[in-house]
Amino acid sequence: MAELRYVDALNRAHHEEMERDERVVVLGEDVGRKGGVFGVTQGLFERFGEDRVIDTPLAESSIVGCAIGMACNGLVPIAEIQFADFIHPAFNQIVSEAARMRYRSNGAFGVPLVIRVPYGGAHGTALYHSQCVEAFYAHVPGLKVVAPSTPYDAKGMLKAAVRDPDPVLFLEHKRMYRLIRGEVPNEDYTVPLGPAAVRREGRDLSVFTYGWTLHEALQAAEAAAREGIEVEVVDVRCLRPLDKETILRSVAKTNKALVVYEDNRFGGFGAEIAALIAEEAFEDLDGPVMRLAGPDVPGIPFARPLEQWYWISQEKLLAAVRKLAHY
């Protein structure tokens, strides 16, 4: 085992998968000599060369379109979109081509493609470098969408995504790159794309979340425990396919549900979790299914006080936990 930062766990996964399978290639803006704007692809260019680590123009539609062509012709591409905010020009390639290829070809073609996407708010990143895009893509059949929250999951789920025969959108919250550390095995392993993980057992209510807000939720749960409220924290970590069984089992145990996500509240991915609980666990509930999410504004403000107003903090979580627990 080694203690790694989130970014280093991802970097190791790239190195190991490219060593394991010569079909794996990496492409994106500044992924080569620069090693990526966040350093995730550091050292790959020096080790594997320009034929397998490809710096691209600033053209997301072309990045994904070329990667789909590679995947259909025997390669296993990992395409990096520099920021989630810039993924929108590639929407048609992802949704109409990659996600539907196996269906439209009656199983004759798959697209073994990983699209890595740094998302979410970080200090000072503001309107065009802070977007959460998961709800757009989790809506689409044929596309897996994952958002690992720990270095262990980051490495294991990226390896599983590379080995998956179909396209995977791999979301990496930017605040986790250098702030989150954890134990990661040195030997080869994968984390299945699908099952959620119960990060903290509790009896009074369940919190369902993913990405950075998982860590805020765990801190809030510790604070709530000092007040006598035992919170169960479930790391959804795979948005599609969604682990319904773990979610429903947790609600049946605690009888109350709080869904937490950073994206705008209206139409955010957490609404799907809330709908699932309302439809399939209604008789287990002792209170309303609550959501805590970002406000419905066009983006995270640049000014630090307004940035703090937008974010899902431990304090906001604790207030929501108290309100639901005492319902």
Ranges of residues in the chain with a pLDDT under 70 are none
Q: Tell which CATH classification among 3.40.50.300, 1.10.3210.10, 3.40.50.970, 3.10.450.50 matches the domain 2-184.
A: 3.40.50.970
Instruction: Locate the domains of the chain by residue range.
Output: 2-184, 197-325
pLDDT score of 123 = 86
pLDDT score of 241 = 98
Assessment of whether the complete model's pTM goes beyond 0.85: yes
pLDDT score of 257 = 98
pLDDT score of 221 = 98
For CA atoms 280, 314, 132, 72, the dihedral sign is: negative
Q: Do domains 2-184 and 197-325 have the same CATH topology?
A: yes
Give the catalytic positions in this structure: 129
For 71-87, the pLDDT digits (tens) are 999 999 999 999 999 99
Name which CATH class applies to 197-325.
Answer: alpha beta
